[in-house]
Structure 1
């Protein structure tokens, strides 16, 4: 059987880099495990530990490479006959609780009570300010300010900009090629939508404009791509590794965000014209009202906003285009809905907030895409105190794992879970805590509405302009397109398509 390079690296390098971490983890839980075995007073969930962390991590990555990360969790639920179980992932002792509606509810409702946010070492090393701040001060302030920055009232100001700039993007990047050919192949949709969503995000957040500074946006895009790849790589900080490039790129991003903030403050203090509509200006105003400006805080917020808003948006749009190609009847309904919205507008009139309330079916399609290909398949928290869950003891300091992927593929919540069916979201939709692509509770993604608007604006333009089909069919053959999770979902070929204007066919 062919073993990919990533699996070889896992087998060879993980034992060296993570043995000490795993040893300390086992050492810290020896007393608890001993109590569990004597009198059964503190019984840990069933599962594996010790050197099994190598096998467990490889099994999880292999399931993701096969496009079924949920399989890892389903197999262990059956093996241990328990929805809560113990395992080891990426060198950490982990107790899996999420994956069911009750488990997800427990994790979300106990955030900041008996649970706290935890970041894998790869993230805390790429973004050192996360680790240096701990869980005090700045994170709490960010949780307070982000919702004010990204609430519907604030986002209304950006809809017209999203609409006009997305239309201009299609005119300058897609129409030019499509107009010269009756039928063409765009080799990879993914880079096109990724760059578009990134450049739009940069402009809305900090007014960095691709039209005037294409080189600056391009360089930032490459840096953020390096960080994105590094977060999901082995935390080996050696020259030439993805992780090393991510650490270097993170430092360069921080310097650029510092320059953006300082230049903005110079313009404000000199009473020069400033782009009052972008999020940076709004963030500065909110910070002044909330206790004063702090450059470190603003830089962290800017970096988080750009990364969070652009990291998965391009992935989701690419997958939406894939499923619209695979299901022509779904495409036709989306087109009908978007044409109705367009026909209700006057000549040259831009989209507004009310128009998005008319895009219910389109958003149901996006939600079904996020169900079958969950943007973030797993998440982690940490126990801030000892507690009990479902008859099992969870020691302080242990990591808790939530599996969105297995929740979304649970047949108890979604009958025939492999079937693509946007009608699942009609009416009241799924039961609470069963559809969680944006998390929940205090950790609910504050950018949820921002992402929704960006995706729907893109859909509004692309379906009214074009029809497309896939250039490569789905297949187990490596030469064909496959959906994989590494650990985020992506199409191995980036979605090559044939595309044409409606009137051309």
Structure 2
């Protein structure tokens, strides 16, 4: 009797279950998942390296609409675009979308970094980073940043006739970060850090297969060495605090070690400090160096923008002695230069795409994003929307003079509660570097082809090689 009842219930429940599952997947966005595991991963990576990834995505958007599915890096994925999608992504709480990144990124940046956090953990970690990166704290570090830029130019630019901009910009931004975030002075340890970080970032968008001949394997080894070096540095900073050794500069590690809960326990674990030092270094090192390189390329090819930037920067320099460092007030006056940087970020954002993971079935735009699926969006698709930015293919820094873009339309630094905590740091770093470049040097391209590809960050042909000429007494 019991068996008959169970059989009858199965006959009723099973078709209902199949109907629900079928209906659920009928509402999944259109598109193709492609081959198992591989999906469209190789096609997308090839398009990125050919710098045609935006076109690759837009071709599919024209075919399927603004919401469509694909499979990348082994995971079924939904592509979203537009201002509404940006707002949904950046404001969703931790119950809908998690910050879980592709396996390659997660394993290289650590499980407890800000990109992986949601809800209260995200607020706690972001607050810890902002305690060091907020404007009030950064004002104390402008002089140190200025010193690093001057030293870099003396070592790598002055006396040279030709330089490769991107490799030098990476050295500069790394040294600034190492000095200000970690309190790490120049020397062998800092040089080893920059070498290892470059190997780490090379494998961030790769298949997470740890075999000796794979790029990901080299990046994993670099990650372990970086973490060990940072762990040694953390123990040194903790020992100095316990011994109450005075320090003239407050670095990020010391700042995070000093953060306490109400019961005086440590606000962050050692793992959280280490992982967020790595993500801060990776984010700050690559994005700022690439923005500086894009600006050097732009100024070499656009005489009118170059002239306006030089005029603004020389006006600031004329009021200062040559040995006098830039101040917070000087940087605040560089309004046109920052508009140029903002327009550069709009048209060529260093970061191509970002990821989230659906924690439950999500209804969006008339479709269902199934639980466990990945969500991907790109910055450039909204930045080039003519309904938001008229004539989007035209470089026009004055579009920001009268009004700021609508919320969640310019997302080079994220948006809402997901705004990048390093925004002000990157702004100061970029403005100070451009100030010294345009007041001390003139330059022109050494080769005709100054294009770039993405791997996953922009990589320039021959590192963007330029011929430089020093200005006599900076022509001021």
TM-score in terms of structure 2 length: 0.89
- Residue of 411, 419, 424 corresponding to 1:436: 411
CA distance in 1, matches of 2:292, 2:407: 25
**Residue in 2 aligned with 1:12?**
none
CA distance in 2, matches of 1:406, 1:316: 19
1:62 aligns with 2:46: yes
Change (3 A) 1:36 1:406: farther
Instruction: Return the offset for 1:351.
Output: 2.0
* Conservation of the 8 A alpha-carbon contact between 2:109 and 2:278: no
SS at structure 2 position matched to 1:129: coil
Alignment deviations for residues 392-415 of structure 1 (CA, whole Å, 9 cap, x no partner): 112222111111122222233333
1:488 aligns with 2:457: yes
CA distance in 1, matches of 2:109, 2:151: 34
* Conservation of the 8 A alpha-carbon contact between 1:32 and 1:42: no
- Residue of 90, 114, 125 corresponding to 2:96: 114
Question: What is the count of residue pairs matched by the alignment?
Answer: 455
**Residue in 2 aligned with 1:250?**
223
**Residue in 1 aligned with 2:5?**
none
1:185 aligns with 2:162: yes
Which consecutive residues of structure 1, in runs of 5 or more, have no partner in the other structure? 1-30, 179-183, 475-480
**Residue in 1 aligned with 2:237?**
264
**Residue in 2 aligned with 1:341?**
316
Greater displacement, 336-345 / 323-332: 336-345
Instruction: Return the offset for 1:490.
Output: 2.2
Greater displacement, 142-151 / 298-307: 298-307
**Residue in 1 aligned with 2:7?**
none
1:355 aligns with 2:330: yes
**Residue in 2 aligned with 1:51?**
35
Instruction: Return the offset for 1:32.
Output: 9.8
CA distance in 2, matches of 1:407, 1:106: 14
The structure whose Rg is larger is 2
Alignment deviations for residues 438-469 of structure 1 (CA, whole Å, 9 cap, x no partner): 11122221111111111111011111000101
Change (3 A) 1:424 1:61: farther
Where do 1:128-207 residues align within 5 Å? Answer: 128-130=110-112, 139-175=122-158, 177-178=159-160, 184-186=161-163, 188-207=164-183
**Residue in 1 aligned with 2:398?**
423
* Conservation of the 8 A alpha-carbon contact between 1:371 and 1:435: yes
Change (3 A) 1:316 1:134: closer
Alignment deviations for residues 202-239 of structure 1 (CA, whole Å, 9 cap, x no partner): 010111111xxx21111010110110101133322111
CA distance in 1, matches of 2:165, 2:376: 33
CA distance in 2, matches of 1:411, 1:375: 21
**Residue in 2 aligned with 1:26?**
none
CA distance in 2, matches of 1:149, 1:344: 30
Q: Could you say what the CA RMSD is over the residues aligned between the two structures, in angstroms?
A: 2.6
1:291 aligns with 2:265: yes
CA distance in 2, matches of 1:101, 1:33: 36
TM-score in terms of structure 1 length: 0.84
SS at structure 2 position matched to 1:231: coil
* Conservation of the 8 A alpha-carbon contact between 1:337 and 1:361: yes
- Residue of 386, 396, 409 corresponding to 2:384: 409
CA distance in 2, matches of 1:33, 1:338: 67
CA distance in 2, matches of 1:449, 1:262: 28
Greater displacement, 48-57 / 64-73: 48-57
**Residue in 2 aligned with 1:20?**
none
Instruction: Return the offset for 1:435.
Output: 1.2
* Conservation of the 8 A alpha-carbon contact between 1:373 and 1:489: no
Greater displacement, 412-421 / 284-293: 284-293
- Residue of 184, 189, 207 corresponding to 1:216: 189
CA distance in 2, matches of 1:47, 1:36: 18
* Conservation of the 8 A alpha-carbon contact between 2:34 and 2:40: no
Which consecutive residues of structure 2, in runs of 5 or more, have no partner in the other structure? 1-15
**Residue in 2 aligned with 1:89?**
72
Change (3 A) 1:327 1:36: farther
* Conservation of the 8 A alpha-carbon contact between 2:359 and 2:372: yes
* Conservation of the 8 A alpha-carbon contact between 1:483 and 1:490: yes
